[in-house]
Structures are given as structure tokens and as C-alpha cells.
Amino acid sequence: MENLSTKREMDWLKVLFHLQLFISFLCSLHYLINEAYWTTTIYSIFIILLSVLGVTAGAHRLWAHKSYTANTKLKFFLALCQTLSGSGSIYDWVRWHRLHHKHFNTILDPYNPSKGFFFSHIKGNTLSLSPAQEKSLDEIDMSDVEEDKIVMFQKKYYIPLYFIVTLLLTLNAPAEYWSENIVSSIFVAGWFRYFVTLHLVWLINSATKIWGLLPGEKYPCDTNLVFILSKNYWLSYHYLAPWDYQTSEYSKYGTDCVSKFIRVCAALEYATDLKTVDCKTVQKALIHSLHENKSINEALLESEANSKIPVEHYLTPFKYQ
Ligand SMILES: [Zn+2]
């Protein structure tokens, strides 16, 4: 690894895509405000929510971190929602996200947050991987995902699925069902929806630069921004215990919509084996890691395996205090 270059080249096709996305989003605001039916706007927001659910509950918490298991119906639904997002195949998303966790905040992290918000949110997505990152990406264990028939089907047919599910069906619906002008449909259900969705998806890797507290920073922060940005340590916790299904991508714990969605799925027996941990077990794990000279991640993982969380937490967030 030491001999391999860590230099990343700019991928100009990706840069052009980002520019196109941004300019088209600005144009879409005109159609959103002046031209489109309100049904098209509500429909676009609904598709955004489904897409984000597919990436957060599906690609992130289910497939990348195995924080719970899902039956075939739930997997199919989440894979369909993830396809709507147009953020690449589940397989590729999971591989890059595992690389991000494995080398978090280092030169091998494709979204390296230590380089600032702009790098982790935008620039990291426009650079090709360095030879050292490519090697590390090849070493990521994907055997669990490779056994998943739904993920592998989506990977194999991703390009036709992208054109049919992400673009054609989604853009055609407003024109087909409530006679929306096709240009308004392309800008609002197309570019506006795609811009908002992709930025919400990219935030999963860059949120730590917005909501994450730096070591030594106090809470609540001494800034007016506290009214819109509730900073906390939950994002740092996610990098210590990524398997905890209750850590939200956007800085909450247990009370966010995705955790509630997973709990409802568990109550309906669509999701099982929800992994989480209570505060006392975390305290014991921290002491254990000190005494046994183990990493905190390792000690937390062991504690989760040994802890007995009551099944009732499926419908009420398990107390972490
Ligand atoms: Zn993660």
C-alpha cells in the first residue's frame, strides 16, 4: 500500500454532471414557483422521501452496516426506493461507504471530512479514486452483499433500471395522470427532485461537518446557528458503532423517521434482529476497552452481541440515557 500513489485525478464528466445538476436546479425553481401544478410539487417531495428512505434505511443501515435484517418484501421495497434515488447501484454505494468507514478522516477516505465540508460533500464525489484507494476498495469484504439476490439483480441491470425507474416512469407520471406540462415535469419531478435527493444522499458522508461536534466543542454551541443546526456527538458515535440501527444519518438518535420506520417494520415482522445498545452497556464497553487494551469499536461490538435489549424497544425508542 505504501508504494501506491494517493493522488486523485479530477473526473471531468462528473464535474460536468455537477454543473448541469446545479444549473438545471436553478432553472427548475422558475417552473416550481410559476408553472407546475401543486400536485407535481407534492409528488416530487414524495419521491424524494421514498428515495432517501431507500438509501438511509436500505443501502446504509440494512446493506452497508447490517444493523437489522429484512425479509424479501422489505428488501424489494427498499431496493426500489433506492433505485428511485439515482445515486448508483446499492452494491457500489455500499462498497464506497464501507471504504469511507474503514479509512474515516484519512487520505484513503473518498469523502475525507478532515478536508472540509466542500470536499466531503461535493469534491470527493468528482474525483476518481487513487491507486491506493482502488486497492483498498478491492479489499472491502462484500461477500454478504454478494449473497443478496435483490442487490445483485439491481447491480446487473442497473443501467436499464435507472432509465426506466429513476427517469422514465417518474417523469412520465405527472404528464400521464394529471396532465402536467412535460417541460414542467422534467424540471420539477426531474431536475429539482434529483438535485435535492442527491444532496440529501451526499450528506450521509458529509453530515459530520455540519452536525458533528468537534472534540472540546460544547453543547449547545455558542452560536445563533443552534436554532437550525443541532450539533451533537451522534455522528461520531455512528463511526464507533455503525451497526446501531437507531443512529440517524442526520444527527438524531432513535427519534428520527427512519428509526421509527424500521421499528414499525419490526412490529409487522418485516424486519428482525435490530441491533442497538443501552447506555450502561456502552459504559461497561468503554471500561472494558481500557482494561483489555481493545479498540472502542471492538468493545462496543462485543457488548452488543452480549446485551439483551427487550423486544418492546421495537415500538418505543430504547433509552440511551
Ligand atoms: Zn455509515
- pLDDT tens readout for residues 25-82: 999 999 999 999 999 999 999 999 999 999 999 999 999 999 999 999 999 999 999 9
Q: How far is the CA of 170 from the centre of ligand 1 (A)?
A: 28
Give the Å distance between the CA of 55 and the centre of ligand 1.
11
Q: How crowded is residue 231: how many other Cβ atoms within 10 Å of its Cβ?
A: 20
Ligand 1 midpoint to CA 65 (Å): 7
Mean pLDDT of the chain: 87
- Distance (angstroms) between ligand 1 centre and the Cα of 156 equals 24
Distance 217 CA to ligand 1 centre (A): 23
pLDDT reported for residue 321: 46
Q: What is the model's pLDDT at position 223?
A: 55
* C-alpha closest to that of 151 among 244, 82, 65: 82
What's the pTM value of the predicted model, to 2 decimals?
A: 0.88
Q: How far does the centroid of ligand 1 lie from the alpha carbon of residue 120, in Å?
A: 14
pLDDT value at residue 2: 61
CA distance 299 to 28: 49
Contact 105, 112 (CB under 8 A): yes
**102 pLDDT above the threshold of 70:** yes
Rounded to whole angstroms, the Cα distance separating 197 from 151 reads: 20
Query: Parallel, antiparallel, or unpaired for β 69-70 and 271-272?
Result: antiparallel
Give me the torsion for CA of 285, 286, 291, 293, rounded to 10°.
Answer: 100
Tens of pLDDT along 111-160? 998 888 899 899 999 999 999 999 999 999 999 999 999 999 999 999 99
Using the mean position of ligand 1's atoms as its centre, give its distance from the Cα of residue 186 in Å: 32
Residue 284: pLDDT band (50, 70, 90) is: confident
pLDDT of residue 236: 78
Q: Is the separation of the CB atoms in 187 and 25 below 8 Å?
A: no
Could you give the maximum distance between any two Cα atoms of the chain, in Å?
Answer: 67
Q: Can you read off the three cell numbers belonging to residue 147?
A: 449473497
Ligand 1 center to residue 304 CA distance, Å?
17
Rounded to the nearest whole angstrom, what is the distance from the C-alpha of residue 99 to the centroid of ligand 1? 10
Mean pLDDT score, 263-283? 86
How far apart are the CA of 180 and the centre of ligand 1, in A?
A: 38
Report the separation in Å between the CA atom of 103 and the middle of ligand 1, taken as the mean of its atom positions. Answer: 12
The whole-number pLDDT of residue 147 equals 94
The DSSP-derived string for 151-213 is HHHHHHTHHHHIIIIIIIIHHHHHHHHH---HHHHIIIIIIIHHHHHHHHHHHHHHGGGTTBP
Question: For the residues 165-189, what does the mean pLDDT come to?
Answer: 93
Nearest to 96 by CA among 127, 71, 52, 70: 127
Q: What are the residue boundaries of the structural domains of the chain, listed by start?
A: 1-209, 222-321
Distance 272 CA to ligand 1 centre (A): 20
